[in-house]
Structures are given as structure tokens and as C-alpha cells.
Amino acid sequence: MNDEKSKDIIVYVPGAGDKASRNVEVAPGATVRDVTSHLGLHGYWLKKPGADGFFGADEPIYGAIKDGEKLEASSPAEVGQCDEC
């Protein structure tokens, strides 16, 4: 029997105005993709503030976070050649 309870976290989206911070419940076994999809942030990445890297989309996130923790969401950035440079 699994006695682990869900954790409540805050996902912060820089530049999102009044929708910048959103609360979400994370169940044991949930992945980053589960969390971002639930919030409608398809293709976004999550990281802890101040961290160098992001969690992988299919990475289980439950064990890596604390109840009440705040994570930052970042949209994918396109990297390529500048036609005007």
C-alpha cells in the first residue's frame, strides 16, 4: 500500500502577468510533463529557482520537490541562424 500523499507546489511563469503563479497538486509518480500538461503549459520546462538545468519532461518530479516548493516554468526557445546578422 502506498501511503505517500500529494504535494502542493507553485509553478511560476515569468512574464505571464496575473497568471504568473499557479498552484498544482503533484501525486506520487507524476512527471514534469504531467504537471505542465495539467497547467496547459505544453512544451514548457520546469526548474528550481537558481538551478542551472531543467527537469526532463518525462522525469518523475515527486521525489525531487518539497511540499510548498516554487518551480519556474520556461517556454522552449528556438535557436538558429539569424538572417539579419
CATH no. of 7-74: 3.10.20.90
Contact 76, 68 (CB under 8 A): no
Task: Tell me the pTM.
Answer: 0.80
Residue 67 burial (CB < 10 Å; 0-12/13-18/19+)?
exposed
Using one digit for the tens of pLDDT, what is the confidence trace for 2-33?
A: 567 999 999 998 877 777 899 999 999 999 99
Using one digit for the tens of pLDDT, what is the confidence trace for 47-74?
A: 999 898 999 999 999 999 999 999 999 9
